[in-house]
Amino acid sequence: MAVPSLKLEGALARSTLPSISILHPIAAPRVALFSSSPLLPRKLLPCYISGRSFRFVVKASVQTASEGLQIKAIPTKPVEGQKTGTSGLRKKVKVFQQENYLANWIQVACFKPFQEDLSSICGFIKAFPYLPLSIAPSSTQRRDSLVGGEEIAKFLMAVPSLKFEGALTRSTLPSISILHPIAAPRVASFSSSPLLPRKLLPCCISGRSFRFVVKASVQTASEGLQIKAIPTKPVEGQKTGTSGLRKKVKVFQQENYLANWIQALFNSLPLEDYKDGVLVLGGDGRYFNREAAQIIIKIAAGNGVGKILVGRDGLMSTPAVSAVIRKQKANGGFIMSASHNPGGPEYDWGIKFNYSSGQPAPESITDKIYGNTLSISEIKTADIPDVDLSSVGTVRYGNFTVEVVDPVSDYLELMEEVFDFQLIKDLISRADFRFSFDAMHAVTGAYAKPIFVDRLGASLDSISNGVPLEDFGHGHPDPNLTYAKDLVNIMYAKDAPDFGAASDGDGDRNMILGRGFFITPSDSVAIIAANAQAAIPYFKDGPKGLARSMPTSGALDRVASKLNLPFFEVPTGWKFFGNLMDAGRLSICGEESFGTGSDHIREKDGIWAVLAWLSIIAYQNKDKKVGEKLVSVADIAKEHWATYGRNFFSRYDYEECESSGANKMMEYLRDIISKTKQGEKYGNYTLDFADDFSYTDPVDGSVASKQGLRFVFTDGSRIIYRLSGTGSAGATIRIYIEQFEPDVAKHDVDAQTALKPLIDLALSISKLEEFTGREKPTVIT
């Protein structure tokens, strides 16, 4: 009854009555002999299996009904005179002919001792309440049922010959293999299973008419860990996107909603990707993370993970998770975050999985996860108490270890390897330089003081909203001009600091501001790339290559061209950069959605971008004496535009649109694209081409299609339409508008003013208001 996972292909009936072998669950059996026996009918199969602490011999001696034999239990009474000597029992024939005289002796002398042993074993088995049984008679049918210990005990009682040597206790709890009783099994394989704790032994044995797979999933009491199989059913809506699964908190709080997804993930991974391995767990501190962390820890233990590293209080930024995975050579990691989406009981929660390289799981895995959520029938979870995550330390449950770690230390060590901290510290310590960082009450609050204050010498009051809160202080932790109002107000004030930055919920996005000056994410990655070799030690030999997401402006393209570097345009989603990094073809990359990073990890990295900008500012001013005017953020941007030209860029977000209207708008645009021709006029713009962006990975040849609708004009201007998959409800329509301006005299024009003709054209082409009813965007970037 401790065996929760049983898959039967074929029919289990009297015609396939099995003999039963009981295996030691910890040590692999020393020997398994299958042979004929003079005590059994010719076609019945005994099985002898010896383990470390006990031996079981099971001999099936009941023929099947289909072979014409019915077994009857005949009432009888004891008879006198059956004292058995060294030569057996000898009497006159007439004595043996008395009713039941011979039958009594045969039953008692031959079978009663074995039956008594079996009864004690069955009493033990009855203690287990149920066994989940999945029966698949054919490839198209399936039914699930629960079989109680009582029924299994009755089944075992049908086997009259059982010799037991040793003690059967919870410390020797067996897994069970079921063998075909007539035909010798074609194969008996004993191997590890991705669903089992490390030392438990599954047995898969196939016979002529059916196959049984029995998987023991209860560890022994001596190992201190009990594994439970919890029956469950598929739930709707667990399609996993580029950033994992994101829904409202109340959805995740539904029974088994999160547990189903976590188990489906383990069901999707190859055994070697986690069995006895190390996983990392962290999150942004939002509401529901505490409960979710305990669920994830227990299911990880139930599926055979050897160790899980958890950030103190469940906190660890997304880039830090990637860094820890890579440094600790972990098998992967869970990130509990809905990124820049709001948090709290009424808002959003999310979960995603990163691979051993530290990058988000590829579509091949996320598609499998979704497929498994549609067929899941049980969840494997360890029966362990909730783990105290409030302080650094280690706790062990049998062969499963939970280590609570400092979420900052490994990440800080990596940042010190990438950047010249002394150079940055010299800048921050200047009396004529002031710095402001807004953590938005999100996870980077846990990193800001150790890095900027303790290590780089910034004043404590340079950090605002630095305490991570479950609801982000009732804010929306999205670092843009709309939601990061606290920082915007500081940086556009009369006596503003020289440099300002903010990061989002899970710490992978960033916003960069100078005094009264906003740096677009598209310009930010281009400026970092152009200055990296000089200002950042990690790039002292120059970047290997540059890349951006398709909607991001072409500013980075121009840097790649001037520096003669390989350049790549990929779909939205950081995972598309991973293959290029692993192949050694990419160093610096970015997305217009405030994501910037490099190949030091496999995630975008908000703190990294802030340190990169501080490095550039510090390098530009390293020879400036006190009293001399510092090179400002605006100066750096304008110098860049003078060298490369300016790509005016803006993004209009229409959040939580009604999905059907948004989809109809996209289909309408696809229809327009199918009919467009090069050279067509759109107001003052001439069409170069229009398409639905498709990407072929140059490393593995994988193809990602339908990644955004593009209208590209002959002067380099672009209009792009996308539906975003990062929200938790409805659909978010994003419109991207870009126009290149080489004339330095026009670089100081306000972006919205410069782009107004193109913005009006974008709204006109799409008929957005007609399809969605929206007159204004939710956010303008």
Task: Give the active site residue among 19, 193, 268, 339.
Answer: 339
Task: Give the tokens for residue 566.
Answer: 């390989």
Task: Give the burial string for 520-558 (b: 16+ CB within 10 Å, else e).
Answer: bbbbbbbbbbbbbeebbebbeeebbbbbbbbbbbbbbbb
Residue 56 pairs with which residues in a beta bridge?
A: 49, 164
Q: Return the number of other C-beta atoms located less than 10 Å from residue 323's C-beta.
A: 26
467: which 2 tokens?
């305490």
Beta bridge partners of 133: 6, 145
SS3 category, 214: strand
**Four-point Cα dihedral 365, 366, 368, 369, nearest 10:** 120
- CA atoms of 259 and 254, how far apart (whole Å): 10
CA-to-CA separations, 626 to 229, 465, 497, in angstroms, rounded: 68, 31, 17
For 287, what's the count of Cα atoms within 13 Å in the CB-facing half-sphere?
Answer: 19
721 phi-psi bin (left φ>0, alpha ψ -120 to 50, beta other): beta
* Residue at 298: amino acid letter: K
Residues 6+ apart with CB under 8 A from 353: 244, 265, 332, 333, 334, 335, 360, 361, 365
Would you call 101 helix, strand, or coil by DSSP? helix
* Terminal-to-terminal C-alpha distance of the chain: 59
Is 339 catalytic? The answer is: yes
Task: Give ∠ CA 310-314-317 in degrees, rounded to 5.
Answer: 90
Alpha helices in 199-352 (DSSP H): 249-252, 257-268, 289-302, 318-327
Alpha carbons 47 and 20: distance in angstroms, whole number: 7
Task: Provide the 10 A C-beta neighbour count for residue 567.
Answer: 17
Q: What are φ and ψ of residue 247, in 5° steps? A: -150, 175
Q: Which of 407, 475, 411 is nearest to 440 (CA)?
A: 475
Across 415-530, the runs of DSSP E, i.e. the strands, are: 435-438, 463-464, 499-503, 510-514, 517-519
| Cα Rg of the chain (Å, integer) | 34
How far apart CA 142 and CA 458 sit, in angstroms, is 63
The three-point CA angle 192-195-199 to 5° equals: 45
Per DSSP bridges, beta strands 646-657 and 779-780 are antiparallel
Phi-psi region of 334 (alpha: psi -120 to 50; beta: other; left: phi over 0): beta
Pick the closest to residue 500 from 483, 516, 521, 482 (CA basis): 516
Two tokens, residue 399: 């062969």
* Cβ neighbours for 632, distance < 8 A, ≥ 6 positions apart: 498, 514, 515, 517
Q: Is 34 exposed, middle or buried (0-12, 13-18, 19+ CB in 10 A)?
A: middle
Half-sphere exposure in the Cβ direction for 310 (13 Å, CA): 30
Contact 40, 160 (CB under 8 A): no
In the Cβ-directed half-sphere of 534, how many Cα atoms lie within 13 Å? 13
Catalytic residues: 339
